[in-house]
């Protein structure tokens, strides 16, 4: 693996202008017409970054409303600010559309569509397949296609390539195909699309060169790997690493509870070791479109290849048991006050899957709510980022924080940084804190995981 910072592949400028030579020249001159399919948490920031780098950019989304809202300069993604979006729209460098015929005009296309799981927990590649089919319909000589959606090793080669090669164009010569995992961390003000290194791996060496040249034009550092399959595996290692370590932190939390030791204090002290230790924290469970889902892509593919990934499975089991543990904590806390869970007013603080985002996909708060509803607790919540929740079996509006005084138990599920935790401490009768937001406070009404 080598690390490259906006390096020019020298040999390509000495040969007669091939499809690759022409594409690289267009990229260098910022004349390449760049496309992004899927304008969500990943695609919209990426499209804006391409436009800021000087490329003419077309964003595609099946959701017409999203395309229209983007064109009006109003961002629905927290990490993309309206002003920056509007600058790119107004300058004419960026526009969004649901008209896939515009793919014909483009030199590069980055695919950033969802990769969820089916009910059976198997990978659902239907969005990727649909996007690749749209690209295949308009594929032309000299085009570079990059898959960014997180998926199992082999997807680019086994799912995208055969569909694109139906055109009789040859990969690596007539068109270029690569995988480059998206690593964006919504809500992270320090690391955003531009300063998160981008890993690229192509189907052929020329595909890698083309993808590397494109991203080197708009992100600070590009890391080249030997194949698309390797790049796919890199992303799954990163997210599985988090999943397994969070599982370990959660198991430590359960153990510490047995030993009457504060797990948060243990992690904080262990973090003082300057090497060989990286802190991961327990919490109410895993959420979002990545950490709970991506390892399932890996385990599915592992099994299809006759390999049983035991450690990853175990971490998944520990993580998915956490919402039930939170409900046990709530039940115990109420019990100590002589109250049954049934009929008690339980108020969740934060329902987004993590701090400072509005995303509730796979949020552990939803599992906690379902379990509480099954046990007939009276549910309510406050989340400044999520004004209402409409889930099967849950239809609720966020209540003002002042409502807390009328509830019996407050449960801190998501630790948004705009919340005044002292006020919560004052207003609540009983608090279950799954995030250690009330560190330093020793009041008897606080129960920790
Ligand atoms: N959200 C994250 O933090 C994050 C981080 C890294 C990687 N990823 C990965 O990136 C991919 C995209 O995730 P996301 O969170 O941006 O999803 P998202 O749901 O926020 O956005 C996806 C967008 O794609 C659109 N779409 C779906 N199918 C389409 C099609 N065929 N053509 C055009 N538009 C289509 C949807 O309407 C939606 O607007 C996933 O594979 C995810 O695992 C996500």
Query: For the chain, what is the mean pLDDT?
Result: 94
* pLDDT at residue 250 greater than cutoff 80: yes
pLDDT average, residue stretch 271-289: 95
Residue among 333, 410, 423 at smallest CA distance from 379? 410
Cα–ligand 1 centroid distance for 38 (angstroms): 6
What is 35-89 written as a DSSP string? Answer: EEE--STTHHHHHHHHHHTT--EEEE-S-HHHHHHHHTT---STTS-HHHHHHHH
Torsions phi, psi for 40 (to 5 deg)? -105, -145
pLDDT at 11 over 60: no
With tokens 């379990």, the residue in question is 371
Q: Is 195 exposed, middle or buried (0-12, 13-18, 19+ CB in 10 A)?
A: exposed
178 to 111, 170, 182, 440: CA distances (angstroms): 11, 14, 13, 49
Q: What is the mean pLDDT of the segment spanning 388-410? A: 93
Closest protein CA for atom 31 of ligand 1 = 131
The predicted model gives 366-372 an average pLDDT of: 97
Instruction: Say what the pLDDT of residue 448 is.
Output: 87
Among 140-149, 285-294, 369-378, the minimum mean pLDDT is found in: 285-294
Give the separation between CA 144 and CA 129, rounded to whole angstroms. Answer: 17
- Ligand 1 center from residue 171 Cα (angstroms): 25
Atom of ligand 1 nearest to the CA of 294: 43
- Picking from 434, 351, 424, 412, the residue whose alpha carbon sits closest to that of residue 387 is 351
Please check the confidence at residue 14 and state whether its pLDDT lies above 90: no
* pLDDT in the model for residue 16: 58
Strand partners, 394: 391
Protein residue with its CA nearest to atom 7 in ligand 1: 182
Phi/psi for 379 (5° steps) reads -95, 145
User: Atom 23 in ligand 1: which residue has the minimum CA distance?
Assistant: 38
Write down the pLDDT at residue 317.
Answer: 94
pLDDT of residue 98: 98
Nearest CA to ligand 1 atom 36: 38
The confidence score (pLDDT) of residue 393 equals 86
Arithmetic mean of pLDDT, 356-376? 96
Report pTM: 0.92
CA of 418 from ligand 1 middle (Å) equals 27
Closest C-alpha to 33, from 48, 50, 45 = 50
The share of the chain scoring above pLDDT 70, in percent, equals 96
The minimum-distance atom of ligand 1 relative to the CA of 115 is 41
- Ligand 1 centroid – CA 395 distance (Å): 25
Ligand 1 pocket test target in 41, 123, 125, 193 with most atoms within 8 Å of CB: 41
Ligand 1 pocket test, candidate residues 114, 152, 181, most atoms within 8 A of CB? 114
Place of tokens 């993309």: 80
Of 37, 42, 80, 137, the residue with max ligand 1 atoms within 8 A of its CB, to mutate for a pocket test, comes to 42
Whole-number Å distance between alpha carbons of 58 and 154: 28
Q: Is the pLDDT of residue 4 over 50?
A: no
Question: 397 pLDDT band (50/70/90 cuts)?
Answer: very high
Q: Ligand 1 mean position to 6 CA, how many Å?
A: 27
In the predicted structure, residue 5 carries a pLDDT above the cut 70? no
Cβ neighbours for 22, distance < 8 A, ≥ 6 positions apart: 142
Identify the pLDDT of residue 2: 44
Where does ligand 1 bind, in terms of residues with CB under 6 Å? 37-43, 60-63, 66, 112-115, 127, 130-131, 149-150, 182-184, 186, 288-290
Catalytic residues: 290
Tell me: the pLDDT tens digits for 194-232?
Answer: 999 999 999 999 999 999 999 999 999 999 999 999 999
Query: Per residue in 144-200, pLDDT tens?
Result: 999 999 999 999 999 999 999 998 999 999 999 999 999 999 889 899 999 999 999
Instruction: Please check the confidence at residue 391 and state whether its pLDDT lies above 90.
Output: no
Pocket test residue of 61, 66, 99, 179 for ligand 1, highest count of atoms within 8 A of CB: 61
- Atom from ligand 1 closest to the CA of residue 42: 16
pLDDT tops 80 at residue 10: no
Looking only at the bridges linking them, the beta strands covering 378-382 and 388-391 are unpaired
Distance (angstroms) between ligand 1 centre and the Cα of 249 equals 29
Task: Supply the residue whose CA is at minimum distance from atom 10 of ligand 1.
Answer: 149
Question: Ligand 1 centroid vs 161 CA: distance in angstroms?
Answer: 20
Largest Cα separation within the chain, whole Å, is 83
């Amino acid at each position: 693996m080598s690390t490259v910072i906006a390096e020019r592949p020298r040999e390509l400028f000495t040969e007669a202008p091939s499809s690759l030579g022409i594409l690289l020249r267009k990229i260098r001159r910022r004349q390449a017409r760049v496309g992004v399919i899927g304008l969500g948490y990943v695609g919209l920031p990426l499209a804006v970054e391409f436009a800021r780098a000087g490329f003419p950019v077309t964003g595609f989304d099946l959701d017409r409303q999203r395309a229209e809202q983007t064109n009006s300069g109003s961002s629905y993604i927290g990490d993309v600010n309206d002003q920056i979006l509007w600058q790119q729209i107004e300058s004419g460098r960026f526009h969004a559309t649901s008209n896939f015929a515009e793919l014909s005009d483009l030199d590069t296309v980055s695919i950033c569509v969802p990769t969820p799981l089916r009910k059976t927990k198997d990978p659902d590649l239907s969005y990727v397949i649909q996007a690749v089919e749209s690209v295949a319909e308009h594929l032309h000589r000299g085009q570079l296609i990059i898959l960014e959606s997180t998926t199992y090793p082999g997807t680019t080669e086994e799912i995208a390539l055969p569909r694109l090669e139906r055109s009789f164009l040859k990969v690596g010569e007539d068109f270029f195909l690569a995988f480059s995992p998206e690593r964006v961390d919504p809500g992270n003000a320090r690391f955003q699309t531009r300063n998160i290194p981008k890993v690229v791996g192509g189907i052929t060496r020329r595909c890698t060169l083309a993808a590397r040249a494109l991203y080197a034009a708009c992100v600070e550092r590009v890391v080249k790997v030997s194949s698309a399959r390797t790049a796919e595996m890199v992303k799954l290692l990163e997210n599985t690493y988090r999943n397994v370590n969070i599982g370990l932190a959660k198991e430590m939390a359960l153990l510490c509870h047995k030993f009457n030791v504060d797990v948060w204090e243990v992690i904080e002290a262990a973090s003082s070791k300057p090497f060989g230790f990286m802190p991961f924290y327990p919490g109410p469970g895993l959420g979002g479109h990545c950490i709970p889902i991506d390892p399932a892509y890996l385990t599915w593919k592992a099994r299809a290849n006759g390999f049983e990934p035991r450690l990853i499975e175990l971490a998944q089991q520990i993580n998915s048991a956490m919402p039930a543990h939170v409900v046990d904590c709530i039940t115990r806390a109420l019990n100590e006050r002589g109250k049954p869970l049934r009929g008690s007013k339980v108020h969740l603080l934060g329902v987004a899957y993590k701090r400072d985002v509005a995303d509730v996909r796979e949020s552990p708060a939803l599992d906690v709510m379902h379990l509480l509803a099954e046990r007939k607790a009276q549910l309510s919540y406050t989340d400044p980022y999520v004004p209402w929740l409409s889930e099967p079996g849950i239809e609720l509006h966020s209540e003002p924080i002042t409502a807390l005084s009328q509830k019996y138990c407050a449960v801190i599920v998501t630790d948004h940084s705009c919340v005044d935790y002292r006020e919560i401490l004052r207003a609540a009768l009983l608090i279950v804190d799954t995030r250690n937001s009330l560190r330093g406070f020793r009041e008897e009404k606080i129960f920790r995981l």
